[in-house]
């Protein structure tokens, strides 16, 4: 849509990876050199980690380009498989034919391949992408691959590529053996402000740009919201070029970037990174001294009341009217029975209660007091004081109402609609706030239900220039597509189509200026 306006030969900020747009920053070059060293030195296990969208796939593609012909490479993109399926996937990736019904059959064929390639002077490299999805059993099976060697030479190198949580998985005690075998590691950070500017300039140059399109202030705004994550940079810049074209802006400024970020709601992604950092900084923070003192005071008070109850039952004496019942005690034990709650105990009566002679009360064995935790889904409610004491000790007592917080699971997204319509004003591609909410609901439902294809139909009326109307319909469809992609839906699943309504339908006005989103289940 905007290619001709900005004199570009192709879209510079596609989300999917394209080798033509490979850009090597200093950190990418360092990561590539480290991993290449590990392969040349036959280090057996290598690890590359990084956050979502930081450019790990770019490093993989770059590494594959610099490998020589002596490397046989197999890539596992989705390792969340059953054990036998995983073995079969590896076999097919390395060109091993035949079906395997057991691990033993696979290992025989696999070792035969390794020895054959070793005698030919070739090395095998297995790349496991998204390695944080590996189960412990599969990790162990992969670790055992490193035992396959000939005359002290490892026959295969394993290259793990995954998100940051894989480092936590390796720290688990059961993964100690494989953790000790990973000798070459690199964590890929996000881009700096200067690298972000170089990254944007490189992609524009490859796409055919001959002049500066993004102002300095715009690039700073892009970095502020993307935090240097290339995937988010691509989403924002693509949207900014479309917005600039619609507004006839030769250069993209700070204001345009702010509008795009607001429309795509990308700020939620940066807030998620900030929240995770905040949790990591505070998860090991010790409790405040005041909290410990408060816990101790309540605990000691509760123990005292329990001893009072047991002593009274043992001596056969009556319990004073102001003594709390076990239910009341249960409510003030913050560390044993639940969350600390505010409880108001009644003041003792001015005169001591009348003690009934023991002879007037029939003997009965002391009641056993047992504590059973309440279900989390049922809130605890207070009981009137008159039900907690005997009729003989009918002194008034008040207890503040206590409700334990209930934990309810997050509700599932709304059912996926077959069609959603977004309306537009005349000659406009702006999406109002209500429509943005509906698009967010649709995106959540589509991700939750793992829908098939999404077709975005852009409509406009037939009044005026047909060429202009077709472009306007395409802009509207693209605007909706970009928003859905920004919410996490793969762009490969979204297709946009432009329509111009007939002159008869053009009298409908608002109804012809719309985008219809169609769900096509596969």
Cα distance between residue 506 and residue 161, in whole Å: 54
Which carries the bigger pLDDT value, residue 235 or residue 390? 235
Pairing of strands 156-162, 514-520: unpaired
Q: What is the rounded distance in angstroms from the CA atom of residue 21 to the CA atom of residue 57?
A: 13
Query: In the prediction, which pLDDT does 42 show?
Result: 85
Mean pLDDT on 164-173:
92
Angle at which helices 267-282 and 216-226 cross, to 10°: 50
* Residue among 419, 498, 420, 423 nearest 462 (CA): 498
- In sign, the C-alpha dihedral spanning 140, 141, 147, 149 is negative
Of 214, 249, 248, give the one whose Cα is nearest residue 233.
214
At 278, the pLDDT band (50, 70, 90 cuts) reads low
Averaging pLDDT over each range in 189-193, 291-295, 451-455, which range is the top one? 189-193
Return the pLDDT at 159: 94
pLDDT in the model for residue 311: 58
DSSP string, 423-438: E--TT-----HHHHHH
Q: Flag the least confident range among 155-169, 248-262, 377-391, 493-507.
A: 377-391
CA distance 406 to 380: 9
Q: Where in the chain is the domain with CATH 1.10.8?
A: 211-282
- Of 70, 285, 274, nearest in space to 157 by CA: 70
Q: Which of 241, 263, 234, 232 is nearest to 14 (CA)?
A: 234
Residue 276: pLDDT band (50, 70, 90) is: low
Q: What is the mean pLDDT of residues 333-347?
A: 44
Contact 403, 379 (CB under 8 A): yes
pLDDT digit string (tens) for 350-399?
A: 545 544 444 444 454 444 444 444 344 344 333 344 444 444 444 444 43
pLDDT given at position 271 = 52
Domain span(s) for CATH 3.30.1330.60 in the chain: 419-520
CA distances in angstroms from 19 to 24, 59, 316, 490, listed in the order given:
12, 11, 87, 19
- Alpha helix locations (H) across 283-382? 289-315, 326-331
Q: Is the dihedral of CA 499, 501, 506, 512 positive or negative?
A: negative
State what percent of residues in the chain have pLDDT above 70.
Answer: 68
Residue 359's pLDDT is 42
With CA atoms as reference, report the closest residue to 517 among 492, 470, 484, 488. 484
Q: If residue 281 lies in a helix (H) or strand (E), which one and from where to where?
A: helix 267-282
Tokens linked to 181: 């075998």
Q: What pLDDT shows up at residue 345?
A: 45
Predicted confidence band of residue 12 (pLDDT cuts 50, 70, 90): very high
**Mean pLDDT, residues 436-447:** 86
Domain with CATH 3.40.50.300 in the chain: 26-188
The tokens describing 450, both together, are 């793992």
How many angstroms separate the CA atoms of 201 and 21, rounded? 11
Helix, strand, or coil here: 259? helix
Which pLDDT value is given to residue 116? 92
Q: Please name which of 47, 494, 12 lies closest in space to residue 230, comparing C-alpha atoms.
A: 12
pLDDT category, 228, cuts 50, 70, 90?
very high
Which tokens go with 180? 């000790």
Given a cut of 90, is residue 497 above it in pLDDT?
Answer: no
How would you classify the pairing of strands 156-162 and 123-129? Answer: parallel
Model confidence band, residue 268 (pLDDT cutoffs 50, 70, 90): low
Q: Which fold has domain 211-282?
A: Helicase, Ruva Protein; domain 3 (1.10.8)
User: With bands split at pLDDT 50, 70 and 90, how would you rate the model's confidence at 83?
Assistant: very high
Residue 380: predicted pLDDT: 39
Residue 345, phi-psi category: left (phi > 0), alpha (psi -120 to 50), beta (remainder): beta
pLDDT at residue 267, rounded to an integer: 47
With cut-offs at 50, 70 and 90, classify the pLDDT of residue 176.
very high
Does 324 score more than 50 pLDDT? Answer: no
DSSP 30-95: HHHHHHHHHHHTT-SEEEEEE-TTSSHHHHHHHHHHH--TTEEEEEES-----HHHHHHHHHHHTT
Q: Which of 388-392, 420-424, 443-447, 470-474 has the lowest mean pLDDT?
A: 388-392
The HSE-up count of residue 117 (CA atoms within 13 Å, CB side) is 24
Supply the pLDDT for residue 444: 86
- Provide DSSP, 346-357: PPPPSSPPPPPP
The residue among 265 and 18 whose pLDDT is bigger is: 18
CATH 3.40.50.300 fits 419-520, yes or no: no
Q: Which of 68-72, 463-467, 468-472 has the lowest mean pLDDT?
A: 463-467
First to last CA, the chain: 29
Dig out the tokens for 370 from the structure: 């047992």
**pLDDT value, residue 329:** 43
* Whole-number pLDDT of residue 458: 87
Question: DSSP secondary structure string, 498-520?
Answer: EEE--TTGGGGGGGGSEEEEEEE
- Specify the pLDDT at position 127: 94
Listing from the earlier edge strand, what are the strands of the sheet with 156-162? 71-76, 123-129, 156-162, 45-50, 184-188
Task: Specify the DSSP class assigned to residue 451.
Answer: -
User: Average of pLDDT values for 147-162?
Assistant: 90
Mean pLDDT of the chain, nearest integer = 76
Summarised one tens digit per residue, pLDDT across range 460-469 is 877 766 766 7
- Tokens at 272, concatenated: 């998620």
- pLDDT value, residue 417: 81
What is the percent of the chain with per-residue pLDDT over 90, rounded to a whole number? 33
> Among 150-164, 207-221, 342-356, 494-508, whose mean pLDDT is lowest?
342-356
**26-188: CATH class:** alpha beta
């Amino acid at each position: 849509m905007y290619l001709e306006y900005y004199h570009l030969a192709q879209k510079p900020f596609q989300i999917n990876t394209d080798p033509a747009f490979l850009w090597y920053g200093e950190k990418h070059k360092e990561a590539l050199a480290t991993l290449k060293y590990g392969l040349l030195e036959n280090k057996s296990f290598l690890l590359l980690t990084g956050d979502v969208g930081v450019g790990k796939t770019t490093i993989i593609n770059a590494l594959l380009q610099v490998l020589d012909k002596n490397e046989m490479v197999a890539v596992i993109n989705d390792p969340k498989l059953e054990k036998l399926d995983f073995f079969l996937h590896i076999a097919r990736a390395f060109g091993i034919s035949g079906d395997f019904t057991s691990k033993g059959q696979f290992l025989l064929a696999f070792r035969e391949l390794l020895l054959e390639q070793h005698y030919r002077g070739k090395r095998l490299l297995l790349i496991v992408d998204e390695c944080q999805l590996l189960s412990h059993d599969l990790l162990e099976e992969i670790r055992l691959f490193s035992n396959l060697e000939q005359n002290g030479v490892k026959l295969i190198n394993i290259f793990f590529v995954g998100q940051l949580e894989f480092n936590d998985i390796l720290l688990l005690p059961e993964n100690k053996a494989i953790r000790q075998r990973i000798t070459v590691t690199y964590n890929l950070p996000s881009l700096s402000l200067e690298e972000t500017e170089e990254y944007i300039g490189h992609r524009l140059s490859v796409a055919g740009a001959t002049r500066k399109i993004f102002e300095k202030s715009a690039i700073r705004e892009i970095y502020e919201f993307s935090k240097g994550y290339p995937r988010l940079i691509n989403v924002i810049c693509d949207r900014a070029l479309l917005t600039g074209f619609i507004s006839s802006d030769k250069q993209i400024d700070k204001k345009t970037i702010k509008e795009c970020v607001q429309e795509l709601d990308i700020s939620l992604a940066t807030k998620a990174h900030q929240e995770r950092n905040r949790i990591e900084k505070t998860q090991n923070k010790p409790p405040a001294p005041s909290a410990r003192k408060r816990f101790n005071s309540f605990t000691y008070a509760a123990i005292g009341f329990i001893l009072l109850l047991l002593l009274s039952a043992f001596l056969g004496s009556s319990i004073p009217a102001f003594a709390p019942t076990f239910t009341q005690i249960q409510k003030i034990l913050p560390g044993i029975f639940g969350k600390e709650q505010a409880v108001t105990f009644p003041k003792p009566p001015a005169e001591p209660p009348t003690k009934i002679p023991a002879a007037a009360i029939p003997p009965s064995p002391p009641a056993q007091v047992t504590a059973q935790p309440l279900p989390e889904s049922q809130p605890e409610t207070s009981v009137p004081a008159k039900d907690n004491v005997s009729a003989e000790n009918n002194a008034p007592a008040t207890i503040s109402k206590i409700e334990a917080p209930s934990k309810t699971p997050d509700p599932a997204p709304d059912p996926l609609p077959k069609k959603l319509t977004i309306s537009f004003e005349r000659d406009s591609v702006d999406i109002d706030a209500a429509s943005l909410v509906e698009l967010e609901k649709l995106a959540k439902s589509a991700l939750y239900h793992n829908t098939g294809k999404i077709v975005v139909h852009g409509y406009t009326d037939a009044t005026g220039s047909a060429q202009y109307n077709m472009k306007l319909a395409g802009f509207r469809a693209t605007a909706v597509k970009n928003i859905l992609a920004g919410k996490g839906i793969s762009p490969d699943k979204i297709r946009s189509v432009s329509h111009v309504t007939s002159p008869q339908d053009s009298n409908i006005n608002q109804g012809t200026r719309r985008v219809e989103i169609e769900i096509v289940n596969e």
